[in-house]
Amino acid sequence: MMKKTYLGLLVFCLSFTLVEAQVEKSPVAPDYNKLQQIIDEAYKLFENDSAGAPADYIPELARVEPDLFGISVVTVDGRVFSAGHVEHCFSIQSISKVFTLAMVMEQLGQQAILEKLGAEPTGLPFNSVTAIEQQATRVGNPLVNAGAIATTSLLEGKSAAAKWKNILAFYSACAGEELELLKDIYESEAATNARNQAIARLLDAYGVMYDDPEKAVDVYTRQCSVGITTKQLAAMGATLAAGGINPFTGVEVMNAENIPQILSIMLSCGMYDYSGTWSYLTGLPAKSGVGGGIVAVVPGKGAIAAFSPRLDGAGNSIRAQKAIAYISQQLNINIFDPQSVGVE
Ligand code: GLN
């Protein structure tokens, strides 16, 4: 009798400790106080790093305050951890390519993406025309400009206006908040995007443009000009990490079956001609934009987003890269490390 009571007590204590441990455990970190501490450390470490320069081929981007720096982590269960200028709204730019890809993959299926757009890194700059001439699919992959404009041209919709409306609604559902167009950025880029127009026309000549090239470039320019904060960007990444379910609203916004393919393209092509080195250093699928944002996805756990306008030669934000790499290394998260993903 006594023995049974002791055993019962032991089981009770043990299960209480386990429940408590589970509650305290963040899906992206062993301990969420530690996670906040690591984010603060990353902010302090790179706060005064002024290497690189903001993009200037889009005049409005050259006017962004270069010292802005923000970091946010959103977990799949909707917890938010941040440091720095996380209220600042910047343009999503090329990170948008991932989410338009998700829409088109949902509409046309995975095989059509492979056949029409491809999944090969170009090894060349994001707006390369040489890559179009060299690659068998011409567009290379959906995360360089050629592939992204082709992706946007594939999107279902009666008109350019209808496509744009659907894009903004889908991005907002992924962020769990209403997003808006940054009008100044859009107008500035629309007035200076001759190169993207040339890319679209070249693709048209090769028979791989699926809408009027001018309209496709306009919708693409709008999607790049969507305003976003680091928290909203991390939420978009966390939606990918959570099998397509937005961690704030609980709404299933995309098909979970397509997410491994989307993340695979992010890993091989998301950081342009630096993607191989990025993968080697972090083992995390990520996407950058010339607005200074980067989001890295930790499948099943959450996402790390950072923003800083100064870029390297490939067009990737220098401080955002450093902050994300630091946080992921400190947390020991890397999809190729069996200790880090799926093992608690
Ligand atoms: N809108 C930008 C462009 O088309 C996006 C490029 C980027 O973020 N790398 O040039």
- Which domains are delineated in the chain? 6-331 (3.40.710.10)
Is 196 a pocket residue for ligand 1 (Cβ < 6 Å)? yes
Mean pLDDT of 260-267: 98
pLDDT of 10 over the 80 cut:
no
Phi, psi angle pair for 164, to nearest 5°: -60, -40
* pLDDT surpasses 80 at 325: yes
Query: Ligand 1 within 6 A of 226 CB?
Result: no
Helix axes 145-154, 194-205, angle to 10 degrees: 70
Give the pLDDT confidence score for residue 28 in this predicted structure.
53
pLDDT at 337: 87
- Tokens of residue 297, six digits: 């996805």
Q: What is the dihedral of CA 248, 252, 257, 263, to 10 degrees?
A: -30
CA 186 to ligand 1 centroid distance, Å = 12
Decide: 341 and 315 in contact? Cβ < 8 Å.
no
- Determine the pLDDT at residue 23: 42
Asked if 295 and 304 count as a contact pair (C-beta separation under 8 A), the reply is: yes
In this prediction, residue 29 has a pLDDT band, given cuts at 50, 70 and 90, of: low
CA gap 99, 146 in Å, rounded? 16
- Whether the model pTM is above 0.85: yes
Q: What is the whole-number distance in angstroms between the Cα of residue 94 and the centre of ligand 1?
A: 5
Report whether residue 93 contacts ligand 1, using a CB cutoff of 6 Å.
Answer: yes
Angle at which helices 32-46 and 318-330 cross, to 10°: 150
DSSP 95-145: GHHHHHHHHHHHHH-HHHHHHHT-----SS-TT-SHHHHHSTTSS--TTSH
Q: pLDDT digits over 134-148, tens only?
A: 988 899 999 999 999
Rounded distance from Cα 310 to ligand 1 centre (Å): 14
Backbone phi, psi, residue 120, to 5°? -100, 130
The pLDDT value given to residue 19: 41
Mean model confidence pLDDT for the chain: 91
Residue 25: predicted pLDDT: 45
Q: In this model, does residue 18 exceed pLDDT 90?
A: no
Q: Is the CB of 94 under 6 A from ligand 1?
A: yes
Ligand 1 centre from 224 Cα, in Å? 7
Q: Is the CB of 290 under 6 A from ligand 1?
A: yes
Reported in sequence order, the residue ranges of the chain that DSSP labels E, i.e. its strands, are: 70-75, 80-84, 90-91, 227-228, 286-288, 293-298, 302-307
Between the CA of 15 and the centroid of ligand 1 the distance, in Å, is: 52
Q: What is the mean pLDDT of residues 279-291?
A: 97
Residue tagged 């269960």 (tokens): 77
Asked if pLDDT for residue 286 goes beyond 60, the answer is yes
What is the model's pLDDT at position 339?
Answer: 76
Query: Is 166 annotated as a binding-site member?
Result: no
Backbone Cα Rg of the chain:
21
Q: What pLDDT is recorded for position 341?
A: 55
pLDDT digits (tens, 9 = 90+) for 84-120: 999 999 999 999 999 999 999 999 999 999 999 999 9
Flag whether pLDDT at 3 surpasses 80. no
Q: What is the pLDDT of residues 182-210, one digit of tens each?
A: 999 999 999 999 999 999 999 999 999 99
Spatial neighbors of 74 by CB under 8 A, at least 6 apart, are 80, 231, 234, 235, 237, 238, 247, 302, 303, 305
DSSP string, 250-273: --B-S-GGGHHHHHHHHHHHTTGG
- Position 16 scores a pLDDT of 39
Ligand 1 pocket mutation, candidates 56, 57, 58, 288, criterion most atoms within 8 A of CB: 58
- CB of 294 closer than 6 angstroms to any ligand 1 atom: no
224 close to ligand 1 (CB < 6 Angstrom)? yes
User: Atom 6 in ligand 1: which residue has the minimum CA distance?
Assistant: 94
Q: What are phi and psi of 9, to 5 degrees?
A: -65, -40
174: three-class secondary structure by DSSP: helix
What's the gap in Å between 225 CA and the centre of ligand 1?
10
Which residue, 295, 273, 150, 258, is CA-closest to 209?
Answer: 150
- Residue 1 pLDDT > 50, yes or no? no
- The answer on pLDDT for 34 being more than 90 is no
